[in-house]
Structure 1
Amino acid sequence: MSGANPRAVVVDDSHFMRTLLSDMLEDGGLTVVDTAANGAEAVAAVRDHGPDVVTMDLQMPEVDGLEAVERIMAERPTPILMLSAHTADGADVTFEALEKGAVDFFTKPGGEVSTRMSGKEEQLVRKVKAVAEADVGGGRSGPTTVSGTTTGASDDGGVATADREFGEGGTVVIASSTGGPTVVEGVVGSLPRDADLRVLVVQHMPDAFTSRFADRLDAASEYDVSEATGGDRIGGGEVLVAPGGKHLVVAGAGGGRLRTRLTEDPPEHGVRPAADVTMRSAADAVDESLVGVVLTGMGADGAAGVQAIHDAGGRVIAQDEASSAVFGMPKRAIERGCVDDVLAAGEIPGGILDAVKLEVNP
């Protein structure tokens, strides 16, 4: 990143929003080098100024945000934060933008925008600065594929299973934040159904998005994926996604199933759901094979959680720096000294299978 203050381009078809966002970012220590009213202007601004980060509206005339992301990532890869409506439709198109290479998204509030956006200024500035640090030049954009040498890959992109026998599955808890949705999709989508794992996913995102995220994982995976609703019980071959705005707690385990509940306890690390909550409760409740996975993201969520899993005898995997969009969460976990394996995104599914000791005939 160039200099101490990240250099930003603000893209929105509303002059009012461009001014409001620019003022917020400038007040937060960023330098806004240009603004753009549509996607075509955004592509030109990135080409002319080479910013560290772009905030990108989705719905714009002429060239919309999706096409602009695609063109920017093809011409001059730059970290992009999408500004999305807090709606189901907004969620769908936002996930498309992430597939095309955007790093993360920030939801615009409804109602009186000026008042409600002002209340989110600190959160917005923090997220823009985190996205500005993202590495988008190493081919990390787009869904993760499995190519690790530990396990090999099948023709359809999943982990090769021809030489494996699977016993009773274990429990996997995945923590993910900035840059994580496509990585989670790649990891969950590559786990073989025969492994019979119970998987809990904590991805930092708001409530209008987690149900759509669960739907996407379900479509991409051999596992049955759903958003937690409270009181869920899951067994092998099932994935539960923590809903936005609530913590997911493992309330008990037995007979090959997990019993969960949802709470509205205070946020941890400024987020709810927090992976630390889910991981600590899993470490307390699960006596069988347990694996904690910390993926890309800003902040420290997951570090204390995987420490609890490690202390309970479980295994811990962290995504490596080279494949992480933002190396904050994995780095904090690694610094605790409780991580067993540091793996590239594409090696994590195989690492999970090794960690739960499912490989009988290596």
Structure 2
Amino acid sequence: MAKIKVLILDNDTTSRDILNKSLEESKDIEVVGIAFNEKIALDKMRLLNPDAVIFGNNFNDLSASLFTKKLLEAYPGKGVIIITDSNSKNQASDTIEALGHGAFDVVLRPDPNISDIEKIKFIERNLSSKIRCFSIKKFSRMARLLTPIEETQPYNGNFKPSCVKKYENSKFEIVLIGVSTGGPEVLTNLIPEIPKNFPIPILIVMHMPKIFTKPMSDSINRVSKIKFKEAEDNEVLKTGTGYLAPGGIHLIIRRNLKGELYVLFEDTPPVNSCKPAVDVLFKSAVGIVREKAISVVLTGMGSDGTEGVRALKENNVPCIVQDKESSVVWGMPGSVAEAGLADEILPLNMIAKRLTDLVMK
């Protein structure tokens, strides 16, 4: 089997060496070139034709967003994975913009205080899996996600199994969404299709480091018809508003004495190696919202969300999962579907319409 060819672009010698050594540990990945500026990187793209570029986001004169835009315009279908610091708000905003331009994913740079050996292990563990993920699901197929709803056949019920008919007359209070790899692209396409008068809140857990969730929510809010924001501790949920869980903390749902739904932060250990975890949010809603929720599981690696959906099923909560073709990775939605817990399996460009039909019938 051919190796996945990777080009490293980083202007820091030590960082380049660590990236190179970490990827050398992977038998299925080959570093075919190293560049320390944009011109060399673009020349090597033409000469070496790598599958993906690893962009070290530490340039003073080159932003990840502009580089990603330029590279993918010239070489559509290539992967861009960004390595960025965990404490730079400027880099975080730039990275979110790069994801909007089609960058595949982001990896946090390892703690500068740990040893080089630990840095290599950290990068190998966190970066290699994303490179493999990109290779399995070539990013060019994400073009399906960008097809406007009006250019597809309208939702006509063909995807709806008969078992969902019992939900048609339900009065829902909240939509709960879980998403991981590919989430920024998916949410940027899904949320703007939710109508302005959507009458219930939408609560989302995405596997994303803390530094990115605020700029991510701000970015979605700029293109959304509903208000979209990062969730706050003890915040009462409002109708027609979308909330993104902050990174690094679990999010749970509760009901106050007035009967209002609100969210709490819960600083407990990771679940499914994730914090926040979709399972934690979904399970917290079981005794609170009962049958008045809709669960949605979108693209992502792993199986986070499956046990949460299973728990929600005790209250007959319907579950929609994204289909394999429109997912970047059909791990999380595939796990729910294979467990027999999905009521509907839909392409991304039909999910907003389906939610609107269920909630605003």
Kept after mapping to 2: 8 A contact 1:295/1:330: yes
CA distance in 1, matches of 2:147, 2:307: 26
CA distance in 2, matches of 1:119, 1:333: 31
Q: In the alignment, which of 306, 309, 318 is matched to residue 312 of structure 2?
A: 309
Does 2:350 match 1:350?
Answer: no
Q: In the alignment, which of 127, 149, 153 is matched to residue 153 of structure 2?
A: 149
Q: In the alignment, which of 203, 227, 234 is matched to residue 224 of structure 1?
A: 227
Q: In the alignment, which of 18, 22, 43 is matched to residue 20 of structure 1?
A: 18
Give the RMSD, CA atoms, in angstroms: 2.7
**Aligned twin of 1:85:** 85
Which amino acid in structure 1 is aligned with residue 207 of structure 2?
H
Q: In the alignment, which of 253, 259, 264 is matched to residue 261 of structure 1?
A: 264
| Cα distance, 1:346–1:141 mapped onto 2, change above 3 Å | closer
Instruction: Give me the TM-score of the superposition, normalised by structure 2.
Output: 0.85
| Cα distance, 1:142–1:351 mapped onto 2, change above 3 Å | closer
CA distance in 1, matches of 2:343, 2:120: 42
**Aligned twin of 2:326:** 323
**Aligned twin of 1:117:** 119
| Cα distance, 1:232–1:107 mapped onto 2, change above 3 Å | same
Cα deviation, residue 227, structure 1: 1.9
Instruction: Give me the TM-score of the superposition, normalised by structure 1.
Output: 0.85
Q: In the alignment, which of 172, 178, 186 is matched to residue 189 of structure 2?
A: 186
Which amino acid in structure 2 is aligned with residue 124 of structure 1?
L
Cα deviation, residue 150, structure 1: 3.6
Kept after mapping to 2: 8 A contact 1:146/1:349: no
CA distance in 2, matches of 1:97, 1:281: 33
CA distance in 2, matches of 1:284, 1:28: 45
Identity among equivalent positions (%) equals: 28
The aligned length equals 343
Q: Which moved more, 1:328-337 or 1:28-37?
A: 28-37
| Cα distance, 1:255–1:321 mapped onto 2, change above 3 Å | farther
**Aligned twin of 1:38:** 37
For the residue of structure 2 that corresponds to 1:197, the secondary structure is: coil
CA distance in 1, matches of 2:221, 2:66: 26
**Aligned twin of 2:163:** none
For the residue of structure 1 that corresponds to 2:6, the secondary structure is: strand
For 1:244-259, list aligned pairs within 5 A: 244-252=247-255, 257-259=260-262
**Aligned twin of 2:200:** 197
The structure with the greater share of residues assigned to helix is 2
Q: Which moved more, 1:87-96 or 1:225-234?
A: 225-234
Per-residue CA shift, 1:270-319, capped at 9, x if unaligned? 11011111111123321353111111111111222223233421111111
For the residue of structure 1 that corresponds to 2:197, the secondary structure is: helix
Which amino acid in structure 2 is aligned with residue 88 of structure 1?
K
**Aligned twin of 2:166:** none
| Cα distance, 1:245–1:145 mapped onto 2, change above 3 Å | farther
Q: In the alignment, which of 195, 202, 208 is matched to residue 211 of structure 2?
A: 208
Cα deviation, residue 245, structure 1: 0.5
CA distance in 2, matches of 1:141, 1:354: 22
**Aligned twin of 2:101:** 100
Which amino acid in structure 2 is aligned with residue 212 of structure 1?
P
Kept after mapping to 2: 8 A contact 1:228/1:240: yes
CA distance in 1, matches of 2:308, 2:202: 15
Gaps of 5+ in 1: 153-165
Which amino acid in structure 2 is aligned with residue 180 of structure 1?
G
Q: In the alignment, which of 216, 235, 238 is matched to residue 235 of structure 1?
A: 238
For the residue of structure 1 that corresponds to 2:143, the secondary structure is: coil
Per-residue CA shift, 1:22-60, capped at 9, x if unaligned? 101111332212112122322333333333332112343
Gaps of 5+ in 2: 157-168
Which amino acid in structure 1 is aligned with residue 108 of structure 2?
T
CA distance in 2, matches of 1:11, 1:243: 30
For the residue of structure 1 that corresponds to 2:39, the secondary structure is: helix
